[in-house]
Structure 1
């Protein structure tokens, strides 16, 4: 979980345009962010295994 301070700080308007960080909508994690789904890799995996993301299935070969 991201600390409250980090979430509030990222919500503010940045001084420079290059300082914006993408954060997971569920846990606030700044790394491993998947733009297409708006969540981090950890939350994505959990949601995919539960079947909550339509069209995503676990691969096996």
Structure 2
């Protein structure tokens, strides 16, 4: 199980990302439109003035069951070992199990 502080930190990042999403997108579009380097630099400063945690690349997917951030499968929203346990217990329909 992931520590609660990590999960809370991740939820704060998600809220910040949603808050600054429009600002980041509009300034990126503006950078593409502007032709002079000086104007691009000004728009780039505006983009960098937003908090670091508002960038979508800083978000992590977490396991729905345990909160683990690594080995996470997008299709199921579960980490690898939980996914394997659920498949072996026949809790995920359509998933085939393998043994090696």
Shared fold, TM over 0.5:
yes
Listed one character per residue, the Cα deviations across residues 30-50 of structure 1 (whole Å, up to 9, x for unaligned) are 000000011000110011011
- List structure 1 segments (4+ residues) > 6 angstroms apart after TM superposition: none
Gaps (5+ residues) in structure 2? Answer: 16-52
Who wins on radius of gyration, i.e. which is larger?
Answer: 2
What's the TM-score, normalizing by structure 1? 0.89
Higher RCO (Cα < 8 Å, 6 or more apart): 2
Gaps (5+ residues) in structure 1? Answer: none
What's the TM-score, normalizing by structure 2? 0.56
CA root-mean-square deviation = 1.2
